[in-house]
């Protein structure tokens, strides 16, 4: 199963609206989780369906908003990919990062 992030959704969208959007685009979904803040996570049965959803729907206008459809990245992976850079000597300031 492949999970997608769908962003820039209008406030009026429902999970049923998203199921219908994907269905009408020929993409079968197993689950839709709508979150506050104008985004959702959509599970596709296969990676090929997720890839097709990205190709067809990323940048599409849906209920008046140009939506973003991209692979979902787990929060743990995002934290691991953060790079820290050491700047200057001594203790880092609040806006400085450390590379070890």
Question: pLDDT value at position 87?
Answer: 52
Confidence of residue 94 (pLDDT cuts 50, 70, 90): low
Confidence of residue 54 (pLDDT cuts 50, 70, 90): very high
Confidence of residue 65 (pLDDT cuts 50, 70, 90): very high
- Does residue 25 register a pLDDT over 90? yes
- Does residue 81 register a pLDDT over 50? yes
Question: pLDDT value at position 16?
Answer: 96
Question: pLDDT value at position 1?
Answer: 80
CA angle 75, 79, 82 (to 5 degrees): 140
Question: pLDDT value at position 15?
Answer: 96
* 2-80: CATH topology: Alpha-Beta Plaits (3.30.70)
Delimit the domains of the chain by residue range: 2-80
Instruction: Report the C-alpha gap between 13 and 7 in whole angstroms.
Output: 11
pTM (two decimals): 0.73
**Helix or strand run (H / E) with residue 31:** strand 29-35
Instruction: Report the C-alpha gap between 92 and 90 in whole angstroms.
Output: 6
């Amino acid at each position: 199963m492949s999970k997608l992030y769908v962003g820039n959704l209008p406030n009026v969208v429902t999970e049923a609206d998203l199921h219908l959007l994907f269905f009408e685009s020929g993409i079968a979904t197993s689950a839709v989780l709508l979150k506050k803040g104008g985004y959702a996570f959509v599970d596709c049965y296969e990676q090929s369906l997720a890839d097709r959803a990205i190709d067809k729907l990323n940048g599409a206008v849906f209920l008046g908003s140009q939506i973003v459809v991209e692979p979902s990245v787990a929060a743990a992976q995002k934290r691991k990919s953060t790079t820290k850079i050491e700047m200057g000597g001594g203790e880092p300031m609040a806006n400085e990062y450390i590379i070890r």
